[in-house]
Chains A and B, each alone.
Chain A
Amino acid sequence: NAGVTQTPKFRILKIGQSMTLQCTQDMNHNYMYWYRQDPGMGLKLIYYSVGAGITDKGEVPNGYNVSRSTTEDFPLRLELAAPSQTSVYFCASSYTDNEQFFGPGTRLTVL
């Protein structure tokens, strides 16, 4: 199986544009997470989900939205991109609260 997949790998956005970062997992994990990684700052949790239909805010949710209509997919939406959202975004999944499995990341630049 592919594990956690993310698309796109790279994206450049203009200020005010919107986009959706896709995340899919094929391990039937109920927990899914979105993190952002800024240089020298570690990973910060944006949103997470403990199952289909359930989402919750993490540490840095402002400017983002998520949905979880299926177990497999957990898209992250940026409605009005800002330069402060330039970052590397990682999606992860886990079975309950066990080991988290990470995707390869999406590098987003907002100009």
Chain B
Amino acid sequence: AQRVTQPEKLLSVFKGAPVELKCNYSYSGSPELFWYVQYSRQRLQLLLRHISRESIKGFTADLNKGETSFHLKKPFAQEEDSAMYYCALRDNTDKLIFGTGTRLQVFP
């Protein structure tokens, strides 16, 4: 079965602390994974995708096929990073399967 698991509903850190939002997936084949973010009172928007191998707003995510993971990381969290983060997998019919999301709270 194709599935995305985000085990943490809530992650709270202080400003300047490292952040790791966990995402595990289940997929047979070559996965294509994304992180979407929803800031307060804003729309859900794409943060990054694994094929781009880019860093956006200081966030990076590496696809680990051995551990079937695509964790989102940032070395030093900022208050403006507080948001809801969703990991998503493109399935074999080109639709996105979303995880249940993790709320990141960054305290000053």
The interface size of chain B toward A, counting residues with CB under 8 Å, comes to 17
Query: Which residues of chain B are near A100, meaning CB under 8 Å?
Result: 46, 96
Residue-wise, chain B 44-80 has the 8 Å CB interface mask toward A (1 for contact) of: 1110010000000000000000000000000000000
User: Which B residue's beta carbon lies closest to that of A43?
Assistant: B98
Give the total number of A-B pairs whose CB atoms are below 8 A apart. Answer: 37
- Assess whether A42 is in contact with B98, with CB atoms less than 8 Å apart: yes
Q: Is the CB of A102 within 8 A of B94?
A: no
Residues in B with CB closer than 8 Å to A33 are 95
Task: Out of A41, A58, A101, name the residue touching B95 (CB < 8 Å).
Answer: A58
| Chain A residues engaging chain B, CB cutoff 8 angstroms | 4, 33, 35, 40-45, 48, 58, 90, 92, 97, 99-105
- Chain B residues with a Cβ under 8 A of chain A: 4, 6, 9, 43-46, 49, 86, 90, 94-96, 98-101
